[in-house]
A and B are shown apart, each in its own frame.
Chain A
Amino acid sequence: MNGPILDFEKPIYELEKRINDLKELADHQEDDSLEGLELTREIAALEQKLDRLAQEIYSKLTRWQRVQLARHPRRPCTLDFISLMCTDFVELHGDRGFADDKAMVGGFAKMDGKPVMVVGQQKGKDTKQKLYRNFGMTHPEGYRKALRLMQLASRFNKPVVVLVDTPGAFPGIGAEERGQAEAIARNLREMTRLEVPVIINIIGEGASGGALGIGVGDRVFMLENAWYSVISPEGCAAILWRDSAKAPEAAEALKLSAPDLMRLKVIDQIIPEPNGGAHRDPKAQAQILKREILSALNELEQLKPHELIDQRIAKFRVMGEYVERGRE
């Protein structure tokens, strides 16, 4: 295994290592020798134990542990999903106004042969890529690039698949000079007006306006261990306790996990992850997600453009909780 291992993952990796060592040992034994049989039995027992352990650990993850999984260095990101779910990807660049934001990628691709427009934030894995991608923190030109591509898809009647994975819209001087707020606000309004099906998928981190800026659609799917919140746990902790080290507490308070968001009726569906998280089996993960996207597209393609838009508005219209005094 390459790359770091999270604390709570350790027992699993240790057990896996033991199993692998034993398997190697078994390879050198005669199949019907006493030692060989003994080893086979032990391996089987350990594999059962591994299943139980993984089940135990991953069935009761805290919200903070999920945040860690969502940020796992080996978690598949947008371009991984595109290459695992699609063929014939033609990447398109630029906002036709200022620049090509490397933190936002997009282009036409085929999913099981069906042409779609895919857009999403790209985070980058090693240091060089992370810098190149600005850690997936989008500038205004990124939101404008995404909108340009989505409107292109809408004009040529291709559905839109959005992959959301960002630690936030970039807070910087240039971002403000070029209207970060305006770019996000415009996307919220214009994504509402797209005349084709739009499927939003929160695949990793969904930080605040930076995520929502490409987050308006007909279906909102969220991977089991992704997070989506009004503010990052670190940002929240810095405000509440003036200490970003209290992010684990903030993650609990913010209720930012997929099950939380399902309960708050903000997302439509939780996309299950392979046992142990998306990074343990990116291929399987991509297949699961692709199946759900295609099934949703099949359903939505029955609708006329105005029906799509009406339902999209109605979907977001009812979000929120309040009481009307005197009318209960």
Chain B
Amino acid sequence: MEWFKKAKEGLISQRRKDIPDGIWVKCDSCGEIIYRKELEKDLWVCPKCDYHFRIKSKDYMNLILDSGELVEFDENLEATDPLEFKDSKKYPDRIKESQRKTNLNDAIVTGIGKINGKEISFAVMDFGFIGGSMGSVVGEKVARAIERALERRIPLVIISSSGGARMQEGILSLMQMAKTSALLARLYDHKIPFVSVLTNPTTAGVMASYASLGDVIIAEPKALLGFAGPRVIQQTIKQDLPPGFQSSEFFLEHGFLDLISHRQDLKKNISLIVEYLS
């Protein structure tokens, strides 16, 4: 079991939970006990080890957009059940439960907002909704966000957080990768800037489509990124995974990220890039 124990240190996301309730919060990474108010003030970054807690789509709106204001579009889009998929739960029940839990209709919020006065087409994913998975609704909302950027000739900013394509919608989820990437070809040819922001985790179908197609790609520190999940890789190759494998730092080192941005600098960095690309 030695290899199993070792490899676990490399897995940054698996043990991470959504933000817990209570006055004191324990850091998932270094174990430091932190006063909740202080953590909130620090944008949910551990003051001791700089660990970035997972935050909600709403938190990113507040962080990135002027006055946290978003004119939301397409909030009425909802999933259907094209495969009549059932595992431990029926898919429609799983959707309803996630909707209740998150107050969102699906795993992404899209609209128009401003960043330091500059209008952008903005999309932010929410890992709390079935692991931020991309089914037809996420794909359609990303597609429309791209089209809004095209029509209004404004930059596109997408903050990703996703385990990949949504299994419950089968092949239709896979096709959302092609759909969003095809529209990004349009954006690319029209020289409209696209800034892709990767947060913990961004993997599989989302990473292998729009998240990797930014003109500039920014990641938060120590996020789990990649195509295949670490467990699948381990089962396939039957070897230890190197420490820090598939982290933001790993992908920066291998040349797949433009920069890693601390959450405190994220708005400034996006805003500057958008300015340079305009």
Which A residues form the contact surface with B (CB < 8 A)? 169-173, 175-182, 184-186, 188-190, 192-193, 208-209, 212-213, 215-216, 228-231, 235-236, 239-241, 253-256, 260-261, 264, 266, 309, 312-313, 316-317, 319-327
Contact = CB atoms under 8 A, between A and B. Distances in A.
Given A171-B233, A209-B205, A212-B174, A182 B212 contact: yes
B167 A189 contact: no
Contacts, number: 202
B171 A317 contact: no
Nearest first, the 10 closest Cβ-Cβ pairs linking A and B are A320-B136, A171-B228, A188-B181, A185-B212, A180-B227, A181-B227, A319-B175, A192-B185, A181-B207, A184-B208
B173 A230 contact: yes
B248 interface: no
Interface residues of B, number: 69
Interface of B: 74, 76-80, 82-83, 85-88, 135-137, 139-140, 143, 165-167, 169-179, 181-186, 188-189, 203-205, 207-213, 225-229, 232-233, 236-237, 239, 241-242, 245-246, 250-251, 254-256
A181 B242 CA distance: 19
A236 to B, nearest CB: 6
Contacts of A231: 165, 167
A316 B178 contact: yes
Contact of B176 (A215, A236, A309, A319): A319
A5 B102 CA distance: 51
A184 B207 CA distance: 9
B209 A185 contact: yes
B229 to A, nearest CB: 8
A216 B182 contact: yes
A141 to B, nearest CB: 14
Contacts of A236: 167
Contact of B179 (A171, A230, A254, A317): A317
Contacts of B239: 173
Contacts of A172: 228, 233, 236-237
Contact of A189 (B87, B182, B229): B182
Contacts of A229: 170-171, 174
A166 to B, nearest CB: 13
B174 A173 contact: no
A172 B233 CA distance: 5
A170 B227 CA distance: 10
Contact of A192 (B87, B135, B182, B212): B182
A173 B173 CA distance: 26
17 contacts: A176-B246, A184-B208, A185-B212, A188-B181, A188-B182, A192-B181, A209-B174, A212-B175, A215-B178, A240-B87, A264-B172, A313-B185, A316-B178, A317-B183, A319-B178, A320-B136, A323-B80
Given A208-B174, A255-B83, A193 B189 contact: yes
B136 A321 contact: yes
B76 A324 contact: yes
Contact of A171 (B139, B178, B225, B227): B227
Given A181-B204, A240-B88, A319-B179, 11 more contacts: A172-B237, A180-B226, A181-B227, A182-B212, A185-B181, A185-B208, A254-B170, A316-B175, A320-B169, A320-B176, A323-B78
Contacts of B255: 179
A33 B97 CA distance: 78
Contacts of A189: 181-182, 184-185, 188, 213
B78 A188 contact: no
Contact of A173 (B78, B204, B229, B241): B241
A266 B172 contact: yes
A321 B250 CA distance: 36
B226 A181 contact: yes
Nearest to B175: A319
A273 to B, nearest CB: 20
A327 B228 contact: no
A224 to B, nearest CB: 16
Contacts of A230: 165-167, 169-171, 173-174, 205
A223 to B, nearest CB: 16
Contacts of B173: 230
